[in-house]
Amino acid sequence: MIEGADPAAMADWLEARIAGALAATDGPVAITVPGGSTPFPVFRELTGRKLDFTRLVVWPGDDRIVAEDHPASNTGKIRDLFEAVGAEVATLTIMEEVPHFSLAWLGMGADGHIASLFPNTDPKADDPQRMRRLTPDPLPPEAPFDRITLTMPSLLDSDEIVFTLGGSAEKRTLFEAAAAGENDLPVARFLAAATQPVTCFA
């Protein structure tokens, strides 16, 4: 658990991981990133760093099923930032072939959801599908839309995992309980199945 990191410090950490992944191959490197408000200051810091973004493929971990120019679209906002520096940004469609990720970056909701794997969707680490379209219940009032999301097997198919909790004491308490196996929320199921390094910025 890393406490008190600002967007610049988180971007430092991400830059080092992405640089290492790029150095390890001549080909493209795929990462998956969260939406919501917390990551965008980090995105802005990260896209100002000296990385070979032309070999980076950025996958939203999930999105609301709206047009990319809709204010609720994660993909549209991620595309604006990363494509401006030469990265490729994937569009989530059920037919898309999900790659192995060098890094899976996740947020977590106050109800323990990750990506759009909400408690009502009963997500499982052995889900046979790599991506799902689903409806949160209850629908978040600030974003009352169906979702498309990577599933747990897609997110677990990664070399390393990082969570950003946005400085919420409530989320930190829930995350620590999930990591200790004290609940059965989506984040707890995910952490129980993870075998790679997991870092959490509280």
Residues 151-168: tens digit of each pLDDT: 999 999 999 999 999 888
All structural domains of the chain with their residue ranges: 7-201
CB distance 128 to 184 below 8 Å: no
Considering just the CA atoms, what is the radius of gyration of the chain in Å?
16
Mean pLDDT of the chain: 94
Report pLDDT for 138.
Answer: 84
SS3 content of the chain, % helix, strand, coil (to 5): 35, 20, 45
Place of tokens 């004290």: 182
Give CA–CA dist 51/177, Å, rounded: 36
**What does the block give as tokens for 12?**
């430092």
Tens digits of residue pLDDT in 32-57: 999 888 899 999 999 999 999 999 99
Answering whether pTM is above 0.75, one says yes
pLDDT band, very low/low/confident/very high, at 189 (cuts 50, 70, 90): very high
Please report the sign of the dihedral spanned by the C-alpha atoms of residue 34, residue 35, residue 41, residue 43.
positive
Q: Is the pLDDT of residue 94 over 80?
A: no
| CATH architecture type of domain 7-201 | 3-Layer(aba) Sandwich (3.40)
Tokens representing 66 are 């709206």
